[in-house]
Amino acid sequence: MTDRNDPNIDSPNPAADPEHTANVRGASRWSPVWIVPIAAIVIGLWTLVQHYLSQGPEIRVTFATAEGLVAGETKVKTLDVDIGVVEAVQLADDFESVRVRIKLEPQTAPLLTENAQFWVVRPHIGTQGISGLSTILSGAYIQLSPGDGAPGRRDFRGLDEMPLTPPSTPGLQLQLLADNASSINVGSPLLYNGYQVGRIEDVSLDSDNGQTHYTAFIESPYDSLVRSTTRFWNASGVAVSVDVGGFNVRTESLEALLTGGVTFGIPEGLSRGLPVNDGQTFYLYDDIGDLTENPHVNAAEYTLLFDSSIRGLEVGAPVDFRGMRVGTVLSVGLQEWDALWDEDRGTAMPVIVHIEPGWLGEDTAAAADAFAQSLNAAVQSGLRASLAIGNLLTGQLYVSLDFHEDVTADEVRNIEGALHLPTVASGLDQIEASVANFLSKLQQLPLEETLDNASTAMSQASQTMTTSRKTLNALTDLLQSDDINQLPASVTAALTDAQSVLRSFGPDAALQAELLESLQQLKTVLNDADAVIQTYERQPNAFVFPSKQPVDPQPQRGTP
Amino acid sequence: MRALITALSLLLTLIGCSNSTPSTRYYLLTDPFSTQPAAAGCAATVKSVTLSPYLQRNNIMLQTTANELVPAVQHRWSEPLQAGALRLLQQCLAGSDATRGVEIDVHIDHLHGSEAGNVVLQGHWQTRAGAGETRKGRFDLRGAQSAGGYDALVAAHADLLRNACLDIRAALPDCS
């Protein structure tokens, strides 16, 4: 029976002639033979894919040197577990480093984060101790420290040494700037009240200003101890002091003594401040004494010009206002030797000072700005800077700010970006100027002529004295003579007589009474003569023909 | 002869032209109570009496109008009025002993009578500076003549002076 479903039958009409038609069957396009190769291909591809997928990530790490690295042998480890191997070591394109191609196991892909670190572990003896001794026998290997961040990085720069702090360690990283901290090295501890809470991770030198930069790391939770008012100081070595109790020796820790160390804290008198962020920069003081003298950070910088000598004024000298410290001298004198005279400055010597508001209140930038404004107002009211003697024996000077009454009006001037505080001569300079003025006037006096005249007068006086002495001797002889001795008695008698005579002229004396009476009689006579004279005036011939005298009016009996 | 007649004529002329002048009378101030002893224990004495200029004459002054004073020509003081007043006041104040106690100076501004018979005495006194408080006072006294004539006028003068003395006594603590 013909199966209509038989695919080998290709007849347009199989029902028309099933006995005379040829059964034509086309050639099949696919041969079962191909099953094998196809299966082989598939299996091969699958194997290839599986092989590819089973391969771990391949990374490239750049190291400074390939010491101890052998292609195909040097292993890559993390947590002492082999996770890869070095496949190739080649020179970098710049010929100053080596590029190491590393093949890692697949499961290590999540470890290749942005902050992952690689370094070569070799035998190492340092201040932190001896490490990597096992590599003497096994050979050097590359250590991987996975960090945080997104995975997927494939190109890394290897570290020269094992990092002191793993990148994923929680904590705070800070920058410390020091003018002189030769005893601080990488790995030096960071101490708080003698307890190690971190360490120095990196040291570098700024060739521009000569400052040393330290990267410090403080582990969590001790990073909260660092605030905006925290101060760092060098705690290396031993502090020796002498007082009435004897010698005092103090050191932070043995490690700090041997390897150097940095201590931090908030100085007494400062507020707790604000939390700090990663990467904040702090100043590293030389020691606790340096910190005590200059505990403030925020300051306003001013330039002072002095016409007098500034010998005795040193960097770090205080700036006082009536005995209260308000700042510090930052720099003294000229910075360039060929600027001995300047058209604007003249021959005045510049001194740069920091006015630090922290001495009087808050040590913040806002307080510094407010203090600068109040200082400007004070200058307009007569505040001036002057040099004062701090120590008479050593001649040390300091800058004194005070109000002066006899000064011309002035203000804080901004000259080429620098704020200038007006200055006045110091008390000693004024005294010196007065003395010089006095001496010049003294010099102009005709002293020689005066001395000559005085000499002449002295010789004449001497002659006069000699004459006077002779006269005195003669007078003494006279006084000692008998006649003179009898003189007092005679004088007394004469005085007695004179007194009696004077008494006779006194107000109660009879003579005076007689005189007064005589005067009264004279007055009466004159009054009468006056009447006669009036009569003759009225009647000149009264002498010959006397006029008849009028009769006096008669008083009558009165009425009580 | 001619000379004789001329002389006689002249003499008669002179005799005929001569006037007779009335005689002058002199008066003395007398304390009417001078015989009475002074108050016991009165330690005061008048050291001086000064007069106004118009009284410094020996004429007794008489007021004829409100503003006119006439010095009497025929009636005069026998002694300076200042001396008489001093004596009278001294006798009145301290009796016969004029040297005790506080010394007083008296000044008389007015002392005269009038045709109507009224007499006035005005003046002031003051103790001299010495131990004790300085005292001073004024007196303004008026009186009347008991009879007409200058004799009564002088008596009235003496009465007023005595009254002034009594006023001074009353003002002194040791004499009142």
What pLDDT is stored for residue A2 in this prediction? 45
CA distance A266 to A252: 17
Q: What is the mean pLDDT of chain B?
A: 84
ipTM of the modeled complex? 0.73
Q: What is the pLDDT of residues B126-135, one digit of tens each?
A: 988 776 778 8
In the structure encoding, which two tokens stand for residue A503, read together? 């008494």
Q: Give the Cβ contact number of residue B90 at 10 Å.
A: 23
A with B: how many residue pairs have Cβ under 8 Å apart?
93
- Select from B118, B141, B163 the residue whose CB has the most chain A CBs within 10 Å, as the one to mutate to test that interface: B118
- Decide: B41 and B174 in contact? Cβ < 8 Å: yes
Q: For residue B109, what pLDDT band results from cuts at 50, 70 and 90?
A: very high
Q: How confident is the model at residue B98 (pLDDT cuts 50, 70, 90)?
A: very low
Residues 6+ apart with CB under 8 A from B65: none
In chain A, positions 461-520, which contact chain B (CB-CB < 8 Å)?
A: 517, 520
In terms of DSSP H, where are the helices of A339-481? 365-380, 427-444, 447-479
What pLDDT, on a 0 to 100 scale, did the predictor assign at position B17?
Answer: 58
Strand A124-126 and strand A129-131: the pairing is antiparallel
**Strand A318-321 versus strand A396-403 pairing type:** parallel
Searching chain A, which residue's CA lies closest to the CA of residue B143? A560
- SS3 state at A388: strand
What pLDDT is recorded for position B161?
A: 94
Return d(Cα A262, Cα A199) in angstroms, integer. 8
Across the interface, which of B59, B82, B117 has its CB nearest the CB of A555?
Answer: B117
Residue A557 in contact with residue B146, Cβ under 8 Å?
A: yes
Instruction: State phi, psi for A403 to the nearest 5 degrees.
Output: -85, 135
> Which residue from A18, A104, A110 is spatially nearest to A61, judged by alpha carbons?
A104
Q: Do A558 and B149 touch (CB under 8 A)?
A: no
Lowest mean pLDDT among A313-322, B64-73, B87-96: B87-96
User: Are A286 and A239 spatial neighbours (Cβ–Cβ below 8 Å)?
Assistant: no
Q: How far is A497 from chain B (nearest CA, A)?
A: 26
Ordered DSSP codes for A130-162: EE-TTHHHH--EEEEE--SS-B---EEE-BSS-
Look at residue B18 in the predicted model and tell me its pLDDT.
Answer: 57
Per-residue pLDDT at A1: 47
Query: Whole-model pTM above 0.80?
Result: no
Q: How do strand A195-205 and strand A189-192 relate by DSSP bridges?
A: antiparallel
SS3 state at A204: strand
Q: Which helix (H) or strand (E) holds A217?
A: strand A212-219
CA–CA separation, B46 and B38 (whole Å): 14
CA distance A146 to A75: 16
Question: Tell me, what amino acid is at A110?
Answer: P
Residue of A512, A556, A559 to mutate when probing chain B, most B C-beta within 10 A? A556
CA A514, A516, A522: angle at the middle one, nearest 5?
100
- Mean pLDDT by runs of 10 across the 560 residues of chain A is 48 57 75 87 89 83 90 90 92 91 88 87 72 78 85 88 74 84 78 86 82 87 85 75 65 64 80 79 80 72 86 86 87 66 71 83 75 86 89 85 85 83 79 80 83 88 91 88 81 86 72 79 80 79 70 86
